[in-house]
Chain A
Amino acid sequence: MAIGREDAERALKDAADAAGRSHRLAGYRGASGFLLLWGLIWAVADVAAYLNPMAGNWAWLLGDVIGVAGSVALGMRMKSKGPSESRWRGVGSALLIAAAIAMLAIGISIISPLRSAAQSQAMAGLAAGCAYVVLGANQGLRIAAVGAAMIALTLGGWLFAHEQFLLWMAAAGGGGLVLGGLWLRTV
């Protein structure tokens, strides 16, 4: 069997490209679980907030607890070749994103306190969208596209949905994440 240097280089490049595609698509599959989980929580909590602000506060509190616990569980389930190391990396990424969003929320509430549930939801939508764009730069463009769509839908809702903003965010924010999660599974 004769293998020349050029042939070897071409074969290694083919192998690396195929492995890269495989890694990226596995990343999409892993991310889709997080999007579906948070999309559902978002939709339910914002519908509750639209119907009754107090119920919305409780729904978000409960939703955050379920979301963080679910994200940790999903991260643990993400198996990989470098066994426990990658599993913890998944958990770490999820917690890092949650921590970044929480820090942003705390920072904004100190600098310029949010006065309504709609403002809080708009900021949460923008922060989550930015987090997905940043994550997508590393994990694959589809994730970044989901984040960009979230930002656009949040701003669109803020400008045009007015009194129906929370309902808009339930549909566009929560529903958008669910659709994004399903979209990531189609590849």
Chain B
Amino acid sequence: MAEPDEIVHQSTRLRLMSVLNALPAGEALEFKRLKAIAQATDGNLGAHLATLEKAGYVEIEKDFVGKRPRTRVRLSRVGRNAYERHLRYLRDIIEGATPDQA
């Protein structure tokens, strides 16, 4: 039976992971685009990404394009598995396979 994942479940982090999970495996997204697509208004976006990185769910790359700094984020395989597991858990709650914990 699937288990809840507190790291994934937080709403901003869930949106971030949903956006990254929809990309082709291994593909990275620039921080600015990720923020826009996830419609993340949370000023603490950097902290959320740091949390995901610490859990091994995302990989963050920093480099330069010319003189412009660029931050890119990609979902790791561990992160993809954790995301899919958590979504399965949520579906189980709705379908009644997992007891409602509220």
Chain A residues in contact with chain B, CB under 8 A?
1-9, 11-12, 14-23, 25-26, 79-81, 187
Check B15–A18 contact: CB distance below 8 A.
yes
Excluding A26-B23, A81-B24, 9 further A-B contacts by CB distance (< 8 Å) are A1-B9, A3-B89, A5-B94, A12-B90, A12-B94, A15-B14, A17-B18, A19-B21, A23-B22
Kindly state the separation between the CA atoms of A81 and B27 in the bound complex, as whole angstroms: 10
Bound Cα distance A7, B93 (Å): 10
Given A1-B9, A18-B38, A23-B22; A9-B27 close (CB under 8 Å)? no
B87 sits at the interface (CB 8 A): yes
- Which chain B residue lies CB-closest to A187? B36
Complex Cα distance, B44 from A151, in Å, reads 45
Shortest Cβ distance from residue A52 to the other chain B in the assembled complex, whole angstroms: 42
Show the binding face of B for A, using Cβ within 8 Å: 4, 6, 9, 11, 14-25, 27, 33, 36-39, 87, 89-91, 93-94, 100-102
B interface majority secondary structure: helix
Q: A12-B90, A12-B91 are in contact. Are A22 and B100 (CB under 8 A)?
A: no
B102 touches A1 (CB 8 A): no
Q: Which residue of chain B lies nearest to A6 when distances are taken between CB atoms in the complex?
A: B102
A18–B18 CB distance below 8 A: yes
Query: Nearest B residue to A15 by beta-carbon distance?
Result: B18
Closest to A2 in B: B101
Nearest-CB distance from B28 to chain A (Å)?
12
In the complex the two chains form, is A11's CB within 8 Å of B14's CB?
Answer: yes
Query: Smallest CB–CB gap between B95 and chain A, Å?
Result: 10
Q: What separation, in Å, do the CA atoms of A6 and B100 have in the docked complex?
A: 10
Contact with B102, one of A5, A12, A26 (Cβ below 8 angstroms): A5
Q: Evaluate whether A3 and B9 lie within 8 angstroms (CB atoms) in the complex, with A8-B90, A8-B94, A18-B15 already known.
A: yes
Least CB distance from B51 to A in Å reads 15
Q: Which residues of A sit under 8 angstroms from B87, Cβ to Cβ?
A: 12, 15
User: Which residues of the partner chain B approach A21 to less than 8 Å between Cβ atoms?
Assistant: 19, 37, 39
Q: How far is the CA of A123 from the CA of B37 in the complex (A)?
A: 37
